[in-house]
Each structure stands twice: as C-alpha cells, then as structure tokens.
Amino acid sequence: MPVGGSQEMIKKPRIARAVFPNQGVRAQYRRRMMCLIDDMAASFEYWLRAAYRKFPPRVAEAAEQAQDEAPSGRIQRTMDELARRWIARFEESAPKISEAYAKSLANHSDNSFRAALKDAGWATEFKMTPVMTDALNAAIEENIGLIKSIPRKYLDQVQGAVMRSYSVGRDLETMVKEIKAIYPKAAHKAVLIARDQSNKVNAAINRARSLDLGITEAIWLHSHAGKEPRPDHVAANGKRFKIAEGCLISGEKIMPGEKINCRCGSRVVLPF
C-alpha cells in the first residue's frame, strides 16, 4: 500500500443461502400418488385374475371347438373397461393433487426464501404477481400431464403381459406374477415425478420471486445428493449466472432443477 494512501475497500456482495424444496410436501404428494397407483394395481390384478380364470387360454386340443369369441377377446374387454375407469380416475384426481401440491410447495418455498433474504440483510414482503402466477400455473399444468400419463403407461405394460400369456398358454399364477412385476415400475415413476417436480417447482418459484424483486444474479450450488452426479453440474458449483438467462453448462443455459432429476440449487446475489 502506497505511503499516505488508503486502500479502497471492496464491498463483498451479500449472498443469501440456498432454498431447497420442502421434504414434507414432497412426501405427502408422493403418498397421494402411491395411493392411486396401489388402488389401480389392485383393481387390475383382481379383475384380470377373475377374467383369466373364467376365460383361460385355449389349449391346442380345443382348437376345433365352437367358434365363439376367443378368450383373449373377452379379457380384452375387461382391460378396456379397467382402462376407461382408471384413466378417468387419474384425470379427475390429477388437477386436485397437482394444485394442492404446487401451492403448498410454493408457500413453503416463499417462506424459506423470505427467511433466507432476511438472514442476508433484506427484509421484504412477497405479493402474488403476474410472473408468480404464470410460474405456478405452468408448474401445475406440467404436473397434471405427468400424473395423467401413469395409468396409460401401466395399461400398455399390463396389456402386453396378458396377451403374451395368452399367446403361449401360461397358467393364471404366471400371468399374475408378470402383472405384479409391472407395479414397481409405476411406483418408481411416482417417486421420480415427486422428486423431479418438487425441484422444478421450487426453482421456478424462487426464480420468479427473484426477478420480481430485482435480483438478477445467482450462484450455482451443486447438491452432492445423487449417487451419479452430472459432472458438468459439479463443475458449475460456485459459478455466477444471470437468473433471467440461466447458467451456461455444456453449451446450454439452464436453471438449477430444470434437468430431469437435477437436485442442484442456487444462492441469489442481493442487488445492493
């Protein structure tokens, strides 16, 4: 430092702590979806077991029997009825589950973000702005679509299992065993949707709030939570980026939580 001079003090930016999705809200959402999936799986197993027992696959010796409707055709009607029933049930439930989930998660995210800003030295109140409304509505609509996709995917897999059983003449318990094996896939999808959507909704709400408040920059924070983290997300840890644009990672500007199963977060940089 020169004699008689003074060292200019460089003011460090104030950075709020990261805000992550509420685990309790995520768990409640997952439970509601699992109840639907459990009921659907039990319904399919019960009615298909009964139909398969009543209309078993024809054996080779029965090929010249009366030309009535094939057993596979009869059980197909059962599956069509089950499909109509459960697709309708999911379509009715999806908006209710999604709206309650998104609003509850947004409320917890707001409370956590407000507390994080206060701890960083900025006490402020939040209002429901057009930006926030758009972000919340978009999150709800995306979630509704994901929930509605569950029974259709499940039905396709069950139908394939049943028809394969008819084509090779499998016994009832073998057919039921194959149907039961489909359940974990549907359950896993529910878990993935719950985790992925909680990250996306939380990120979207925090982004909207930040822009409304005039906060323009944030710092990428890798969660270190996944078993197989994305190397480029790990490398982005600590990188500063424009909230309106996203963080440049592997040639693409994205927000934390935007990519499927991304659990990364961010710490906003206060504008003063």
The residue extents of the domains of the chain are: 23-57+72-269
- Over residues 120-137, the pLDDT tens digits come to 999 988 888 898 899 899
CA distances from 96 to 203, 268, 271 (A): 22, 32, 38
Which tokens belong to 76?
Answer: 């197909």
Overall average pLDDT of the 77-89 stretch: 94
272: Cα separation from own chain's centroid: 36
Whether 233 shows a pLDDT value over 80: the answer reads yes
Overall average pLDDT of the 197-201 stretch: 89
- Nearest CA to 94 among 132, 142, 155, 134? 142
Residue 31 neighbours by CB distance under 10 Å? 11
Instruction: For residues 203 and 162, give the distance between their C-alpha atoms in angstroms, rounded to a whole number.
Output: 42
Average pLDDT, the chain: 88
**265-269 and 217-221 strand pairing:** antiparallel
Whether 271 shows a pLDDT value over 60: the answer reads yes
Place of tokens 């084509």: 167
Q: What is the pTM of this model?
A: 0.82
Between helix 172-180 and helix 130-168 the angle, nearest 10°, is 160
Overall average pLDDT of the 95-102 stretch: 93
Instruction: For residues 269 and 219, give the distance between their C-alpha atoms in angstroms, rounded to a whole number.
Output: 7
H/E element holding 24? helix 23-54
Banded pLDDT at 45 (limits 50, 70, 90): very high
Whether 66 shows a pLDDT value over 50: the answer reads no
Instruction: For residues 207 and 135, give the distance between their C-alpha atoms in angstroms, rounded to a whole number.
Output: 9
Q: Which residues of 220-243 are buried (b: 16+ CB within 10 A; e: fewer)?
A: bbbbeeeeebbeebeebeeeebeb
Identify the residue with better confidence: 72 or 116: 116
Whether 212 shows a pLDDT value over 50: the answer reads yes
**pLDDT value at residue 247:** 96
Overall average pLDDT of the 23-38 stretch: 93
Whether 217 shows a pLDDT value over 90: the answer reads yes
Banded pLDDT at 10 (limits 50, 70, 90): low
**pLDDT value at residue 69:** 61
Instruction: For residues 74 and 219, give the distance between their C-alpha atoms in angstroms, rounded to a whole number.
Output: 60
**pLDDT value at residue 8:** 46
